[in-house]
Amino acid sequence: MQQLYCESCQRFLADRFVVGSCPVEGCGNDTARGDQCDRCGRLLNSTELIDPRCKVCEGIPIVRDTDHLFLELPLLKEQLEKYIDEASATGSWSQNAVRITDAWLKEGLRPRCITRDLKWGVPVPHEKYKDKVFYVWFDAPIGYISITACYTPEWEKWWKNPENVELYQFMGKDNVPFHTVMFPSALLGTGENWTLMKNISVTEYLNYESGKFSKTKGIGVFGNDAKATNIPADVWRYYLLSNRPEVRFRLN
């Protein structure tokens, strides 16, 4: 496949190492990342970015060939759609989870690259790909299962028991496609009897007054600010939980 490569940094620019304009018509975000546009939520391959720039040196990358492993989502289409239809009808899915997943299916399933030319990460256990690591959103959800296996040898009672276990997950809206499309596909593709997510509760972004929280720009209320008010921690917890934005919301 083709990937962006920065000649001055001498490395391939995966995911967060490259920014550029989002290719989705009408989106207009000029700081979309190599794997996802934060504004419209579309998952991207880095070569789709318009006017890409290296995040490290601001240089203009070139396109180079490299070998990678892919998750063949088109082959899993039928199974995946059946899972989504059933889980979203019988389980509890927040509206934004349904909307984001539908938009993803409507766009058409494409093979997704699951390896990266990076030094940091989980190495790929295959001779030909031993210098590569897995894409973080391929290996991170496997962690839900492997951390249970670290805790108990009886992990299969939870993760391979869909008849008796109902799985709930909570997340921000930018993580939806990884949990409703990518990870279920990876599990379905094994042909084994995994416990798939049945209920998903998704929050919108929490805004501060009329803008985004930004640690770098100092916009928002952070742990040290909250502490300095001397308002007890339980009051903060209650306020945030009761205002947890399942619809668009501002902190005033």
Site residues for Zn ion per CB under 5 A: 6, 8-9, 22, 24, 27, 29, 37, 39-40, 54, 56-57, 59
Tell me, what DSSP letter sits at residue 220?
Answer: S
Measured from the CB atom, the residue of 10 and 216 that comes closer to Zn ion is: 10
Residue type, 6: C
Cα–Cα distance, 44 to 15 (Å, whole number): 9
**Smallest distance from Zn ion to CB 151, Å:** 39
Measured from the CB atom, the residue of 103 and 122 that comes closer to Zn ion is: 103
Helices (H), the chain: 77-90, 95-106, 136-139, 142-151, 156-159, 176-177, 183-189, 223-228, 233-242
CA separation (Å) from 64 to 22, 46, 117? 21, 12, 12
Measured from the CB atom, the residue of 20 and 184 that comes closer to Zn ion is: 20
Cα–Cα distance, 141 to 124 (Å, whole number): 16
Measured from the CB atom, the residue of 28 and 143 that comes closer to Zn ion is: 28
77-90 vs 95-106: helix crossing angle, rounded to 10: 160
Measured from the CB atom, the residue of 54 and 97 that comes closer to Zn ion is: 54
**Smallest distance from Zn ion to CB 176, Å:** 15
**Smallest distance from Zn ion to CB 60, Å:** 9
Measured from the CB atom, the residue of 58 and 85 that comes closer to Zn ion is: 58
Measured from the CB atom, the residue of 37 and 71 that comes closer to Zn ion is: 37
Largest CA distance in the chain: 57
> What are the φ and ψ backbone dihedral angles of 167, each rounded to 5 degrees?
-95, 125
The two structure tokens encoding residue 48: 């789709």
**Smallest distance from Zn ion to CB 143, Å:** 28
E strand spans, 46-132: 50-54, 62-65, 70-71, 112-113, 115-116
**Smallest distance from Zn ion to CB 179, Å:** 20
Return the residue matching tokens 């009408």: 26
The closest alpha carbon to 83, from 213, 244, 198, belongs to 198
